[in-house]
């Protein structure tokens, strides 16, 4: 059976403007790989209602899981929760369990749970909460869509809460070899190797470092034995000892 699939939807004008560098995709990809869920697509959309709804509906129909980041805070431009509700055609309102989480946190801080902060307790009907041990405000899952904050430390904590609840597959393994030769000199035998091992993913990534041109070849797959066999043949291609 193939591994379950996932897509990520990154939401925020600040990402597209270049003001903020996204770190969440890299982290999510690593965590999903550990549990055998294949991240197949990443999209970035602006804080635009129609764009978010269209992307959510396209991705949730194409993949087993969709993870979003961004747009669930207390300000006017945090519209992700409303867009998720619209995508699924369900209502959204302040939910008692989410409100209680926020109330407890702000009481402990001696801070008022005002109307703006209470927006973070608005949850689409039928959604399950995702725990947020960092800042309290929960994310949520609605069917196969999992909605989380964009701040990296909060996102990572939410991923830790979410991933154990997902159905995984066979973890992906990888090995790599640095070859100090130009990509063109190994392209043909590398293509033959890929044809011989169609169950593996073989990637070639050129580099230039201190005047040396070379390539890092990365082989990925779920069968350790096949991976070792391919690496042995790759070493021969490179003229290195196996």
Does the pLDDT of residue 238 top 90, yes or no?
no
Strands (DSSP E) contained in 1-64 are: 5-11, 38-45
Task: Return the pLDDT at 241.
Answer: 62
Asked if 5-165 and 173-238 have one fold, the answer is no
Looking at domain 5-165, which CATH architecture does it have? 3-Layer(aba) Sandwich (3.40)
Q: Which residues are bridge partners to 146 per DSSP?
A: 67, 141
Work out the average pLDDT over 15-23: 93
Q: Is 217 helix (H, G, I), strand (E, B) or coil?
A: strand
Distance CA 6, CA 81 (A): 20
How crowded is residue 115: how many other Cβ atoms within 10 Å of its Cβ? 8
Does the pLDDT of residue 226 top 90, yes or no?
yes
Distances (CA, A) of 232 to 50, 151, 229: 51, 42, 5
Q: Is 56 helix (H, G, I), strand (E, B) or coil?
A: helix
Distances (CA, A) of 132 to 148, 193, 194: 9, 45, 43
Per-residue pLDDT tens for 81-135?
999 999 999 999 999 999 999 999 999 999 999 999 999 999 999 999 999 999 8
* pLDDT above 90: percentage of residues in the chain: 89
Question: What fold, for 173-238?
Answer: Alpha-Beta Plaits (3.30.70)
Average pLDDT, the chain: 94
Band of the pLDDT at 193, cuts 50, 70, 90? very high
Q: Which residues have CB under 8 Å from 171's CB, separation 6+? A: 33, 34, 35, 36, 222
Does the pLDDT of residue 221 top 70, yes or no?
yes
Q: Which residues are bridge partners to 129 per DSSP?
A: 140
Structure tokens at 159: 């991923």
Task: Return the pLDDT at 203.
Answer: 94
Distances (CA, A) of 103 to 100, 128, 185, 195: 5, 19, 64, 59
Domain borders along the chain are: 5-165, 173-238
Give the residue from 64, 86, 118, 83 showing the smallest Cα distance to 12: 83
Task: Return the pLDDT at 212.
Answer: 85
Does the pLDDT of residue 16 top 90, yes or no?
yes
């Amino acid at each position: 059976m193939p591994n379950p699939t996932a897509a990520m939807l990154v939401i925020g004008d600040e990402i597209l403007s270049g003001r903020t560098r996204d770190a969440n995709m890299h982290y999510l990809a690593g965590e999903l790989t550990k549990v055998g869920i294949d991240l197949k697509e990443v999209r970035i959309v602006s804080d635009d209602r129609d764009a978010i709804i269209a992307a959510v509906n396209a991705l949730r129909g194409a993949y087993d899981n969709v993870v979003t980041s961004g747009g669930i805070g207390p300000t006017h431009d945090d519209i992700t929760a409303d867009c998720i509700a619209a995508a699924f055609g369900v209502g959204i309102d302040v939910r008692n369990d989410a409100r209680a989480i926020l109330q407890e946190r702000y009481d402990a801080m001696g801070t008022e749970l005002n109307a703006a902060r209470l927006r973070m307790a608005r949850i689409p009907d039928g959604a399950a909460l995702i725990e947020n041990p960092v800042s309290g405000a929960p994310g949520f899952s609605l069917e196969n869509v999992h909605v989380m904050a964009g701040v990296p430390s909060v996102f990572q904590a939410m991923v830790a809460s979410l991933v154990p609840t997902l159905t995984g597959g066979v973890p992906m393994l990888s090995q790599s070899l640095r070859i100090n030769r130009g990509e063109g000199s190994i392209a043909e035998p590398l293509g033959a190797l890929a044809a011989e091992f169609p169950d593996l993913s073989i990637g070639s990534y050129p580099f230039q470092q201190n005047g040396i041109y070379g390539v890092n070849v990365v082989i990925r797959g779920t069968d350790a034995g096949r991976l070792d066999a391919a690496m042995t043949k790759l070493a021969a291609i490179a003229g290195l000892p196996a």
